[in-house]
C-alpha cells in the first residue's frame, strides 16, 4: 500500500524518515508502516506528528521491547487493546511476540 500523504528522506546514520507532505512543521507521518526506521532496527510509527499505531506497538526496539501509543498518548498494553479493533487472536499473537504476560 502506498501512502501519498508522506515522502521519504534519509536521516543521520542512514535512518529512513517519512514526513507529511505540505506540512510546515515537518511532522513524522506514514500510514502504511513506520515513519522512522534507524539503521540499527529501531522503528517508530507516527501519524500527523503523533506517535500512533492501532495494529501493533508504535515503538519497537531491536532488543524486543515495545511501547503502545494511540494518538500521541502512551498506553499500557491492556489500555491499548481497549482502543484498537484487533481481534482476540491478534492480541494473543502480540502478547506472545512481545513477551506480555
Q: Band the pLDDT of 12: cuts 50, 70, 90.
A: confident
Look at 24 and 16; give whichever has higher pLDDT.
16
Kindly give the residue spans of alpha helices, DSSP state H, lying in the chain: 77-83, 88-97
pTM of the model: 0.86
Q: Which three cell numbers stand for residue 94?
A: 502480540
Residues forming beta bridges with residue 59, ordered by sequence position? 44, 67
Q: What is the mean pLDDT of the chain?
A: 89
pLDDT per position as a tens digit, 45-57: 999 999 999 999 9
**Dist. CA 86–CA 91, nearest whole Å:** 7
Per-residue pLDDT averaged across 37-44, rounded?
Answer: 95
Q: What is the pLDDT of residue 99?
A: 85
Amino acid at each position: 500500500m502506498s501512502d501519498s500523504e508522506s515522502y521519504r528522506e534519509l536521516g543521520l546514520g542512514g535512518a529512513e524518515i517519512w514526513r507529511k507532505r505540505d506540512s510546515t512543521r515537518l511532522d513524522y507521518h506514514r500510514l502504511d508502516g513506520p515513519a522512522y526506521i534507524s539503521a540499527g532496527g529501531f522503528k517508530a510509527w507516527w501519524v500527523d506528528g503523533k506517535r500512533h499505531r492501532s495494529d501493533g506497538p508504535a515503538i519497537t526496539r531491536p532488543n524486543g521491547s515495545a511501547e503502545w501509543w494511540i494518538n500521541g498518548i502512551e498506553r499500557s498494553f491492556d489500555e491499548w487493546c481497549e482502543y484498537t479493533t484487533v481481534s482476540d487472536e491478534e492480541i494473543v499473537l502480540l502478547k506472545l511476540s512481545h513477551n506480555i504476560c
